[in-house]
Structure 1
């Protein structure tokens, strides 16, 4: 079951492309940037489109207001309990859409960076974990608090358990307690923690550094990273050896090596 895509005018998402960096800003601060069906559809569409757009080198997911995202829209979910089936079909479609969004981020050929300035809870924390990288403000906090309201954060658990050590993930899931940005960095949920005023500039600098690399090389590397992570040691080495060979035969690898040996800047062609 799939949810219909919203009309562009209704999407609580702002998109801006500059110098190869696509900045997607969750823009529903009144609802703490909840991952409503509309928000998820808009974000999924933007991520999918970015993956096919050669002008986009890196995607940044940010948010307006004091919350990065409070997770699923509980009011939206609760309202559907009045449906004839008690909400089952809508709940199923909602979590299928959420899984589709998170896997689209992981499978996108473009690196995706979360810029977290405030609270990221439940599916909002899942969104951070699904991104390839994350930069957080010192003011940011993270939690999977579903256990406190009788709704275990089972789908956020998928992304969380793939970022954190198991016992760290289980503590967050079983207690529902919020952790600071510094603690999130210690656990491996975020890459960097900076002062609030430095959040956007730090994210921009990181995105620009990555955007300067070969788009083809980034695509090859990101795909291989996630593929090998789900295999055995022998399978991982076999897979990545094949990837290295194909990568080495690409024009950008030939150019990059020649540029390095010739002590000059490479000229990427994405092939």
Structure 2
């Protein structure tokens, strides 16, 4: 098995695809190879109707330490540096654009682009011991790309505090600020994430897809345009087969049988 096959692991079970960052010796730093694997795997998942939910996890003492700084320092010239940040942005955007919901399972420290990775996911669960930081300012490199996801996940002043100070916040603060949904004991993290993943996977894949897409599109709109989009999406959703089945099942007091359309 090659390095490219081992730095990112995938396990599928009952409609849930778990992607696990597997560079524990490098604190799961986002090397070009790892980001390329993530990019490719997300593209495959987007085309896989059997996958209803994605869980993003990591092995080792950290969730993700951000970019691989040794690799970054070895880059030659503007074009090589720009290509790395373009790849990173593509991966983060792919998570947001993915038809399936993505849950971050954060067991430990997530810093810089690792924090960006968490903020880009639709949901995030964290162990009590987890911490989050955008510490680029400490080494003369403002976390500008992590800023995009972070500023869309927490309040402006909270995001600026993290970006300007570089100080880590604990899991409880991350929960209060909205960066993560729930904080649980480390030993309960797997079961809590699995429970939520199973719950979401039980829903109509078609409904999840149209709803997730509409959620992110309307965030960037003014109020009138957002309601116009939402009304259009709900009209199309209402006419879908899964909506008819869901309503009939509710009225008939039986479980729905989703068709994915």
TM-score band (shorter)? over 0.9
TM-score (norm 1): 0.94
Cross-structure match for 1:232 = 222
Match of 2:50 among 50, 55, 64: 55
Aligned length: 260
CA offsets, 1:59-112, max 9 Å, x none?
Answer: 0000001100000000001122xx3xxx31211000000000000000000000
State the shift of 1:164 in Å: 0.5
1:163 maps onto 2:158 in alignment: no
1:121/1:143 contact within 8 Å kept: yes
- Cα distance between partner residues in 1 of 2:163 and 2:49: 39
Cross-structure match for 2:191 = 201
User: Structure 1 96/11 Cα, relative in aligned 2: closer, same or farther at 3 Å?
Assistant: farther
Equivalent residues in 2 for 1:132-211 (5 A)? 132-211=122-201
State the shift of 1:9 in Å: 4.1
Match of 2:37 among 16, 38, 42: 42
CA offsets, 1:232-265, max 9 Å, x none?
Answer: 0000000000000000000000000000011110
- Cα distance between partner residues in 2 of 1:11 and 1:247: 40
- Cα distance between partner residues in 1 of 2:108 and 2:227: 39
TM-score (norm 2): 0.98
- Cα distance between partner residues in 1 of 2:154 and 2:6: 32
1:11/1:38 contact within 8 Å kept: no
Cross-structure match for 1:4 = none
CA RMSD of aligned residues (A): 1.0
1:135/1:191 contact within 8 Å kept: yes
SS in 2 for 1:88: helix
**Structure 2 stretches lacking a partner, 5+ long:** none
